[in-house]
Amino acid sequence: MQRRYRTIKDLKINESAKAIAFEDSNLACKLTSMGVLPGTRIEMIRTSPFGSAYYVKADGVRLALREEEAASILLEI
């Protein structure tokens, strides 16, 4: 079966995609209140020095996300 979405974890450096939905409702609460909404374009900037965290840009806002947080944000293909 073909996947209909991917997550931030799948983004390459400098690649960007639109967010569609959030898998984790607690995180959804946090991210939406920070202004990361469905439809926001998310760009991967870099991974943290020791791995497992991502530096992303969402609509001009720079954010640091943990691996599992990044994995719960669904992006359009």
Q: Do 44 and 12 touch, CB atoms closer than 8 A?
A: yes
The residue among 3 and 26 lying less far from another protein, judged by its C-beta, is 26
The residue among 2 and 51 lying less far from another protein, judged by its C-beta, is 51
Residue 28: partners with Cβ closer than 8 Å, 6 or more residues away: 22
Residues that bind another protein (CB under 8 A): 22, 25-35, 37-38, 45-53, 55, 60-66, 69
Distances in Å between the alpha carbon of 11 and those of 7, 14, 26, 69?
7, 8, 23, 14
Report the nearest approach of another protein to the CB of residue 12 (Å).
Answer: 16
Report the nearest approach of another protein to the CB of residue 2 (Å).
Answer: 28
The residue among 62 and 77 lying less far from another protein, judged by its C-beta, is 62
Q: What six digits make up the tokens of 33?
A: 């209140």
Spatial distance between the Cα atoms of 67 and 62, rounded to a whole number of angstroms: 16
Report the nearest approach of another protein to the CB of residue 67 (Å).
Answer: 8
